[in-house]
């Protein structure tokens, strides 16, 4: 079973606190990314962007392994 296929009881939800982010960076992210692409839902934006980053990293690693193999 991979990390993406966790048992439902293992899929725990957590709350995050962000530190050392400038207000300007957060505002720009909200205006340029969250508002137009995620309907203003910051939580959804963060979750989906994290999922996308993990998925892309997995694809890159698989391609590297296949190239070496």
User: Which tens digits make up the pLDDT trace of 7-37?
Assistant: 555 678 889 898 999 999 999 999 999 999 9
11 vs 56, more confident: 56
Q: What is the pTM of this model?
A: 0.70
- How far is residue 1 from each of residues 5, 55, 69, measured CA to CA in Å? 6, 16, 23
Look over the chain and give the mean of its residue pLDDT values, rounded to a whole number: 88
C-alpha span between 37 and 64 (Å, rounded): 31
CB 38 within 8 A of CB 48: yes
Secondary structure of residue 66 in the 3-state scheme: helix
Mean pLDDT, residues 45-62 taken together: 95
In this predicted structure, what is the pLDDT of residue 1? 47
C-alpha span between 67 and 65 (Å, rounded): 5
In this predicted structure, what is the pLDDT of residue 36? 97
């Amino acid at each position: 079973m991979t990390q993406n296929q966790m048992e439902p009881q293992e899929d725990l939800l957590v709350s995050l606190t962000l530190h050392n982010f400038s207000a300007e960076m957060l505002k720009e992210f909200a205006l340029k990314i969250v508002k137009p692409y995620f309907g203003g839902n910051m939580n959804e934006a963060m979750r989906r962007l994290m999922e996308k980053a993990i998925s892309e990293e997995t694809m890159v690693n698989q391609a590297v392994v296949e190239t070496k193999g």
